[in-house]
Structure 1
């Protein structure tokens, strides 16, 4: 998910959830589609293939995708529903200023390829010329903030959100940014694959400059300027793994201290450009990259910064311009980075754009048509069952002291549960959608969002605000508000089946709910207390015992070879792996509690326990290209789908019992080598 910069929000990026019916009320099914399986391999040999091989064969990768799994299939179906809603508005004439007018007009402009191709780069020409006209380095910061207010990132990021150590109050925060490849390794690693990506990135930068009228020589020079600045920032930026340490990425200081620590930036001008009158205290998440930006601004010639600012503008706008810009951007980010062969059809890109810019306006329509109050009620009840089970799991841990258990139970009891959609919708009345250009409206929408965010400075945190829209196929845990959130769009099959029994539903959505809850107690979440404050609430010795047990998970995943010569990153994926582990244990206990007085029958040739684990594994069915595997391994805190099955289940004793896994099976892991945390 995309949320505020550098916030420690844990999204179960590929998952979904809802509630289930009482098994005494209806005759339920197994929930399984046996054609999804591949029984030519045994469960203990390769459970991912055993449970998902049939699904993968039925859904080969098309040219449009670098990865396609069960969640992508659900997202596609969801996207078609949203398209129908949006196109209904786009086809009618609506009163100016209404939600219908804003959604319909923005979609129509995104779809109007004739106008977009006729305009070429005209929509950004004035902005490019304004950047080119900079005469003095003192003008860099005003231009940076002007671009930032239009949603165009440059040297570093800024936003307003909860103070990690005073979670009830919103403060101004800044963090590293400025490198468009996202991860520092792309600029610094020297292996052949990364070196090739870097060379292709240079060609892409050069291509963009030629598309706005630069000569080949001028474009090459500007590319070198961009690479010099981005590489310098990358060298002192923190890796994705280093960013996972909340304490190490918290540096609260006064405004006077900021000016003293990083004197090379005109901070008064910076804040003024963002429309912020005053800042008394702020959090600088990563000091070194921002200090390096100050150094670059004061040592490099203005011409290099002009090139850098122009590139960030063109790159940000490319997907909103004519087809040659769209093709250039896709050739690099789509083909080179992720291995996709063709771009998404225009309607999908248009739907995604409207969804991203006017999310809760679309969300209101989506919820009204596709989400029932009954589903929300069932989900809330199921969450309560999982909370009870997690409480039992916490109480049973012998490695944790009684005092820490008490505080953990308090945190669990105060989880803020969000299901379906917000109780209060965002007000977009100040946002205008006009018929000048698609790009101009993208900038207006970004400016509206930025102003809305900065307006919260110094105000209490709104703990009822949602960080995802209802139509998002995803879920998250937010430590700052101690909340778990399950949007409406994910409350569907295969994550939940109204006709299936508890074995299936607890194995699917039950594990996902347990996953999000466990994030409150993973290596990051456990550092935040029940009120969402970054605070050590563990008794002496308990944290060390937790780390010792968590290290078993790190070591296990570090040894997994995801491609020849490329291993998984156990430290980067630790939080998600612990959440999968906890989710499985908690959901299994909740399922056993729910069926204790009414044991389930065997169905479709499988026991209830077997169906529980098959339902879980099916969530991760999917195919993926090698290029995308490399991208995820560098940057994604989630393990690959195959290893969320084959890497997670060998640590769960109930799985061994369900499928009679023995030491002779390849996936067998000796008990003393298994993770045992939650």
Structure 2
């Protein structure tokens, strides 16, 4: 939900996909950080010239921020980036060991995938030969029925609107297979909007000078790609391709509507598609996609589906063929001749502010993680996650669940029936710590030692077939959607499950030798954040089984919505640029999770200290809040900051730190007075739960 899976991350995953960067990290990935830089990120970094009540982020992190430098290949640096760097370093060491593995072993498959991706000389030597069969198939399309078949054959399971808040795909539509909204006992097919090359509809529709310039540069980039692919009249073709994408974008749903469970809950029968969304030969599409045996689909973006289907009919076949040529190359630029990747980076780096790409090894690690994630993860946890750490974190999870249960039990305005449902939901929550109980089987994925393009295609098709294979099978509520080596965490409402990958459970987020206050301020707040997503504006719509059902009384829901509205207003006031403000409604789910998670973690840290026979003090409270603020330590380029504000469900980190202004204990710990910028009157401090 709402990317609650990214509690501390810099949320630019779309850009990462576009540039084939690590999805679990970000374009701010801090490769090659020196020991001194890592120590600086972990250090105090306080700016004593700023009062905590004026700007708590500047107070806690301003000293570090003044001295932090963003390398040319990065769009930012920070604590999360340091964790991502350490995870990548660990994976790099693991991959080096696999290079000695015997042929036919799982370890050898990892090595072959990595080495093939790394071998740019072989990739350059082959030119466009690997992708030529696809380009030939596009050229051979002779009518709209053939186009529908092609589109269906290339549908992929490349979106996840709830667990990863991933709604970007260059394919016309994206598929997600998960538990049904209303039928938890069976897997359902979800179809989402897609088809764009820019991150979001706003990039096509906004009229600012920067966006107008960006669109012109994008059209030039399309022309460059088509010209390199020997497409005649590339400039004219590029104009047609861009105009088609503009039409697709106009039909797209907004980010706010994409996160509204009432608006995305649209079940269509397969037999009704031709009537509800005319223009696309749906029978041909479903037959080619392998979805022809499914009788019902949940359509996440019905308006977009209808608009795009209509465009299949109204736009010329030649335009569609040029569109498919461009996107086929754009999606695989990293495993095509280097010139294609260079051109792609030159354009998309404008969205991140970077001037040079990462080392090829970084891209190779990312690609290997994406293709063989749990195979790599199995080796990662063996070396990087101790049983002692797992046991200690499980204890923290238990305390956080108890703290939130107590908050609900002691709530004075919830009806007894609503409390009962909420408490049952907490009781039923599955929590995964470090790694999944069952590992995925990659034996069916063919990897060739010198076929980077083919490996990428086969990995994508393998994942798609894995998704299709779920239909008719028993539901697995313990399945993970993230790799253990990913610096992340996730709440999965349809499974009523929460997972914490091992790479996130590292110092300074968690340290066996750190104080209780520090661990709860950092990791505890994340655990609380993820649990609280079960009760944010999205999660609160799902019951203990993971089904979409209203279990609230009318009065309780009204009270909840009133608190949510106050939080929206609070975040609407934050303005990182004179012409751009944070979108309180778009970021509401994450802001609720931050607030409730922090409150629950504060309660849990007090309880944990008392369990150890210790009494919390004002000093330990300060330690708790400082650990929370430092967990968001970050410095990003303006280009990325704009992208976050426009497209993401998270508010920028500096504003998430200011969540503390809603907790009474923070005022006491830092002696915050009326008249200071962050001061809120007690009645104005938002309390959701």
- What's the TM-score once normalised by structure 2's chain length? 0.91
- Asked if the contact 2:277–2:310 (Cα under 8 Å) also holds between the matched residues in 1, the reply is no
Aligned to 2:603: 589
Alignment partner of 1:172 is 2:172: no
- Asked if the contact 2:41–2:78 (Cα under 8 Å) also holds between the matched residues in 1, the reply is no
- 5 Å-filtered alignment, 1:218-297, equals 218-297=233-312
Q: Which of 281-290 and 271-280 deviates more?
A: 271-280
1:600–1:498: structure 2 CA closer, same or farther, 3 Å change rule?
farther
Aligned to 1:193: 210
Q: Which of 622-631 and 398-407 deviates more?
A: 398-407
- How far apart, in 1, do the equivalents of 2:474 and 2:246 lie? 38
1:622–1:199: structure 2 CA closer, same or farther, 3 Å change rule?
same
- Asked if the contact 1:32–1:615 (Cα under 8 Å) also holds between the matched residues in 2, the reply is no
| Structure 2 portions without partners, runs of 5+ | 11-39, 159-168
Aligned to 1:671: 682
Aligned to 2:78: 69
- 5 Å-filtered alignment, 1:412-491, equals 412-435=426-449, 437-491=451-505
- How far apart, in 1, do the equivalents of 2:616 and 2:195 lie? 57
| Structure 1 portions without partners, runs of 5+ | 1-6, 17-30
Aligned to 1:622: 634
- 5 Å-filtered alignment, 1:573-612, equals 573-596=587-610, 598-599=613-614, 607-612=619-624
Alignment partner of 1:660 is 2:654: no
- Asked if the contact 1:253–1:281 (Cα under 8 Å) also holds between the matched residues in 2, the reply is yes
- How far apart, in 2, do the equivalents of 1:625 and 1:302 lie? 41
Aligned to 1:384: 398
Alignment partner of 1:106 is 2:137: no
- Asked if the contact 2:182–2:547 (Cα under 8 Å) also holds between the matched residues in 1, the reply is yes
Alignment partner of 1:566 is 2:574: no
TM-aligned CA deviation for residue 600 of structure 1: 5.2
TM-aligned CA deviation for residue 212 of structure 1: 1.4
- How far apart, in 2, do the equivalents of 1:76 and 1:155 lie? 34
Name which structure has the greater RCO, CA cutoff 8 Å, separation 6+. 1
- 5 Å-filtered alignment, 1:10-49, equals 10-14=4-8, 35-49=44-58
- Asked if the contact 1:150–1:444 (Cα under 8 Å) also holds between the matched residues in 2, the reply is no
TM-aligned CA deviation for residue 233 of structure 1: 1.4
Aligned to 2:34: none
- Asked if the contact 1:63–1:341 (Cα under 8 Å) also holds between the matched residues in 2, the reply is yes
Note the alpha carbon deviations across 1:64-86, whole angstroms, 9 max, x for none.
Answer: 11122101111001101101111
Please point out which of 46, 57, 63 is paired with 1:54.
63
TM-aligned CA deviation for residue 277 of structure 1: 4.5
- What's the TM-score once normalised by structure 1's chain length? 0.92
- Asked if the contact 1:32–1:611 (Cα under 8 Å) also holds between the matched residues in 2, the reply is no
- Asked if the contact 1:10–1:476 (Cα under 8 Å) also holds between the matched residues in 2, the reply is yes
Please point out which of 629, 637, 647 is paired with 2:649.
637
> How large is the RMSD of aligned CA atoms in angstroms?
1.9
Alignment partner of 1:87 is 2:96: yes
What secondary structure is seen at the aligned counterpart in 2 of 1:35?
coil
Note the alpha carbon deviations across 1:511-550, whole angstroms, 9 max, x for none.
Answer: 1111001100000000000100000000121111111111
- How far apart, in 2, do the equivalents of 1:363 and 1:50 lie? 37
TM-aligned CA deviation for residue 673 of structure 1: 2.1
- How far apart, in 2, do the equivalents of 1:44 and 1:330 lie? 41
- Asked if the contact 1:475–1:487 (Cα under 8 Å) also holds between the matched residues in 2, the reply is yes
- How far apart, in 1, do the equivalents of 2:634 and 2:41 lie? 16
- How far apart, in 2, do the equivalents of 1:517 and 1:266 lie? 43
TM-aligned CA deviation for residue 599 of structure 1: 3.3
Please point out which of 413, 425, 428 is paired with 1:399.
413
- Asked if the contact 1:8–1:246 (Cα under 8 Å) also holds between the matched residues in 2, the reply is no
Aligned to 1:341: 355
- How far apart, in 2, do the equivalents of 1:248 and 1:93 lie? 50
- Asked if the contact 2:156–2:174 (Cα under 8 Å) also holds between the matched residues in 1, the reply is no
Alignment partner of 1:494 is 2:508: yes
- Asked if the contact 2:155–2:173 (Cα under 8 Å) also holds between the matched residues in 1, the reply is no
- How far apart, in 2, do the equivalents of 1:204 and 1:13 lie? 34
- Asked if the contact 2:237–2:319 (Cα under 8 Å) also holds between the matched residues in 1, the reply is yes
- Asked if the contact 1:159–1:454 (Cα under 8 Å) also holds between the matched residues in 2, the reply is no
- How far apart, in 1, do the equivalents of 2:520 and 2:215 lie? 45
Aligned to 1:301: 316
- Asked if the contact 1:12–1:516 (Cα under 8 Å) also holds between the matched residues in 2, the reply is no
Alignment partner of 1:119 is 2:126: yes
1:212–1:33: structure 2 CA closer, same or farther, 3 Å change rule?
closer
TM-aligned CA deviation for residue 608 of structure 1: 0.5
- Asked if the contact 1:15–1:475 (Cα under 8 Å) also holds between the matched residues in 2, the reply is no
TM-aligned CA deviation for residue 279 of structure 1: 1.4
TM-aligned CA deviation for residue 395 of structure 1: 2.1
What secondary structure is seen at the aligned counterpart in 1 of 2:298?
strand
- Asked if the contact 1:389–1:586 (Cα under 8 Å) also holds between the matched residues in 2, the reply is yes
1:580–1:545: structure 2 CA closer, same or farther, 3 Å change rule?
same
Aligned to 2:16: none
- How far apart, in 2, do the equivalents of 1:188 and 1:579 lie? 31
- How far apart, in 1, do the equivalents of 2:156 and 2:641 lie? 34
Q: Which of 100-109 and 150-159 deviates more?
A: 150-159
Q: Which of 113-122 and 204-213 deviates more?
A: 113-122
Please point out which of 206, 219, 222 is paired with 2:223.
206
TM-aligned CA deviation for residue 149 of structure 1: 5.1
TM-aligned CA deviation for residue 289 of structure 1: 1.3
Note the alpha carbon deviations across 1:539-584, whole angstroms, 9 max, x for none.
Answer: 1211111111110110111111111221000011000011110011
TM-aligned CA deviation for residue 264 of structure 1: 2.7
1:665–1:402: structure 2 CA closer, same or farther, 3 Å change rule?
same
- How far apart, in 2, do the equivalents of 1:577 and 1:449 lie? 32
